[in-house]
Amino acid sequence: MQRLQKLIAESGYCSRRKAEELIKQGKVTLNGKVVSELGTKASFGDDILVDGNLIEYQEKEYYLFYKPRSVVCTTKDDKGRKTVLDYFDDVDKRIYPVGRLDYDASGLLLLTNDGEFANLMMHPSNKIDKFYVVKVKGIVTGDEVKKLRNGIILDGKKIYPSRVKLKRLDKKNLTSIVEITIHDGINHEVKKLMEAINHEVIKLKREAFGFLTLGNLKSGEKRMLSPKEIKQLYNMAYNKR
């Protein structure tokens, strides 16, 4: 027997946190009865429905995906835009993205149907480094790079990027390329950091997630993570705590 929210997350329906919300909203039934309090235990042998959808055990799958620009990171989009799941038509598991990449950003995104894994990777206490290459308007100065390194207050909290490097200045077109590694998991974090030093982001690409890189993948391509990589990701998250 396990907690209901854990079973829902394990089924790949959503994250455990989201499952807790759904339970509190009265959207979950256990053997025909609405459960709206956390703490109820059940097993996959029970009849569990979320919003009318049957919750069943699924084999876990883990993907590394090269998200193109102009693709949303949600599983559905009200505006009819292309979603990351449009690239996973051949996958029959209910997978979803681990965290977010903005619509106009590209790069490395993990997807899985393992809610526990997704939670662990996204949790800010695990401080997993995400490496971005960002193109901004204007010429970034050494002082501005120092400002970033010394920490910037975002959403009331001082944020220290793990690494900042000025990569290239284009004095003709007045743009700069900056490499930045962050580990906090704040929404639109890179854009907010660049805004704090008065530079608008033109292009943003996530090149790495922890030790994982895009490798030979082309935009729109994916590959499965190996069992060794999954184990390494777990180790990394636990060691960073």
Residues with catalytic function: 102
State phi, psi for 41 to the nearest 5 degrees. Answer: -105, 150
> Does 105 contact ligand URA by CB under 6 A?
yes
Least Å distance between CB 191 and ligand URA? 3
Kindly calculate the radius of gyration of the chain based on its CA atoms and give it in whole angstroms: 20
Least Å distance between CB 121 and ligand URA? 14
Q: What's the length of the chain? A: 241
> Does 108 contact ligand URA by CB under 6 A?
no
> Does 147 contact ligand URA by CB under 6 A?
no
Question: Which range touches ligand URA (CB under 6 A), out of 7-15, 161-169, 186-194, 214-222?
Answer: 186-194
Question: Which range touches ligand URA (CB under 6 A), out of 30-38, 139-147, 188-196, 227-235?
Answer: 188-196
Least Å distance between CB 102 and ligand URA? 4
> Does 207 contact ligand URA by CB under 6 A?
no
- 108 and 66 Cβ atoms separated by less than 8 Å: yes
> Does 61 contact ligand URA by CB under 6 A?
no
User: What number of chain residues touch ligand URA (CB under 6 A)?
Assistant: 8
> Does 190 contact ligand URA by CB under 6 A?
yes
With CB under 6 A as the contact rule, the residue among 17, 68, 83, 102 that binds ligand URA is 102
